Amino acid sequence: MPMAWAHELNMFAIAIGTMMALVFFTMIFSRVVHHEPLPAGMVPSLIIMIAPFEVGFLAYVNVTHHVDMFAGLLFYFGLFLFISLSFKVFRRSIPFAASWWAISFPIAALSNAAIKYAAYSDTWVLKGLAGLILAFLSATILVLFVRTLHRLFTHRLLVG
């Protein structure tokens, strides 16, 4: 945004997002560790835990106009969470439901952050990783779309 006040608005949004992300991440992580397992239909929503770190990376880089160590920490922690949670979320035992769409936004944020970080680092490893994440996102959206249409046409989309 070219307006003079846009930087302050972005700082305000980052401040709120950062504090809320810390609170919600702590609450969700505590729930996952200390309470009974989530119902199968809610397991895909765990991937949302990566979104604050990847969106935070993007917002921080957009405000500061450079990638520094803090930005790298945000990116890599989100990537770590994605890898860790993938083993819990992407299993055949979890049935498809509309709730699976909850994975699309966080993976898109991860993809966007990976592309921006790869452009900054200018290494083939990170460019390859960004390409893999983008390909995974594209395949994920396609699978979600096809499975949603199939459930819609078989009248099972909103069945619990």
Segments making up each domain of the chain, as ranges: 6-153
Evaluate whether the domain defined by 6-153 bears CATH number 1.50.10.150: yes
Confidence of residue 1 (pLDDT cuts 50, 70, 90): low
13-57 pLDDT per residue, tens: 888 888 888 898 898 889 888 999 888 888 999 999 999 999 999
The contacts of residue 13 (CB under 8 Å, 6+ apart) are 59
Q: Is 66 exposed, middle or buried (0-12, 13-18, 19+ CB in 10 A)?
A: exposed
Does residue 52 contact residue 13 with C-beta atoms inside 8 Å? Answer: no
Mean pLDDT estimate for the chain: 91
- Cα dihedral sign for 80, 84, 63, 70? negative
The HSE-up count of residue 142 (CA atoms within 13 Å, CB side) is: 6
pLDDT score for 6:
82
Q: What is the pTM of this model?
A: 0.88
